[in-house]
Structure 1
């Protein structure tokens, strides 16, 4: 039984601005992605509590939950001198069904060259890259969200109009420094990615 995270709706609400800032890397804001409602761990349906209410890499959690490896598709990315950001999808290797939409912003300064290169050339999900390279890391859960998605999330996640999904804001500390911010939105009833979605 995992330890309680201590995340409440009030804590999630207090991290709205951080979540909004991350969303604005690739969207016009959270409102364009859907209606985001701050929730606590106790308000999550059991499947989403398993998927989101923990301080582990989502790669590890998704692969354990769905009993298959996940594959990465990068939709868009930006590379600056010391920062890297991307918008991505994770899908089940077994059938191609999309299980996560994510936005990540990473401070690349101080990362070993091979880690930075593996991330920027999309050689696997972020969690897998960090684990394979044995970086000292700690995942900090920051907020939980109930989401009524707009088409900006419905299309990449192959959702139906009435689907409600959940997500989280987390920070990954590498070697004791805050290095990664992630917005991770998951579905517990994944469907194959639509062929019309513009994936490069």
Structure 2
């Protein structure tokens, strides 16, 4: 097994942190960057922090709302929304699993304060990090996700799974679903 296979986040595993069945959240179909329409392609098909990307795209800093958390051993997981500070519009849903042993005590404490997006905490603390896009997804949201993102049933949006390596270690697994 190569490193990429071993460190690629599993979509079902991430979703099951907060949902009994992944289809409760959404139906997911893996797609290529070429199959991803704009503006979703611009928002998702890159190896950068989503916090910075959505702030630049929406021309507004974002706030995080933590909807639910789970702690399992050294892993801290959370289901979140990012909203624009300018008008409160939700621009991203996410599920994040952090392997705290790779983050350091101060960074872990700030992330667990649930006041600042993970990407912003890592940037503010100048943690050596590398974001790795692993998959792009066409997403048909379930009822809850439609409600959270103010979408109509059947509307198609897009998301991605990604990893953030901190000091060379796979520290953060991500599912990020955006609205245009």
Category of TM-score, reference length = shorter chain:
over 0.9
- d(CA) in 1 for partners of 2:140, 2:102: 38
TM-score after normalising by structure 2: 0.92
Paired position in structure 1 for 2:147: 155
CA contact (8 A) 2:128 2:166 kept: yes
**Distance change >3 Å, CA 34–CA 110, structure 1 → 2:** closer
Aligned to 2:158: 166
* Structure whose residues are more often strand by fraction: 2
Segments ≥4 residues shifted beyond 6 Å: none
Give the drift of 1:44. Answer: 0.8
The alignment of Structure 1 onto Structure 2 pairs a total of residues equal to 174
Name the SS of the counterpart of 2:57 in structure 1: helix
1:79 positional shift:
2.5
RMSD, aligned α-carbons: 1.6
Q: Secondary structure at the match of 2:10?
A: helix
> Where do 1:120-199 residues align within 5 Å?
120-188=112-180
Unaligned runs of at least 5 residues, structure 2: 1-6
Unaligned runs of 5+ in 1: 1-14, 189-200
- Map 1:38-187 → 2, pairs under 5 A: 38-187=30-179
Q: Secondary structure at the match of 1:46?
A: coil
Q: In 2, distance between residues paired with 1:110 and 1:168?
A: 22
Residue 3 of structure 2: aligned partner: none
Using the TM superposition, give the Cα deviation of residue 16 of structure 1 relative to its aligned residue in structure 2, in angstroms: 9.9
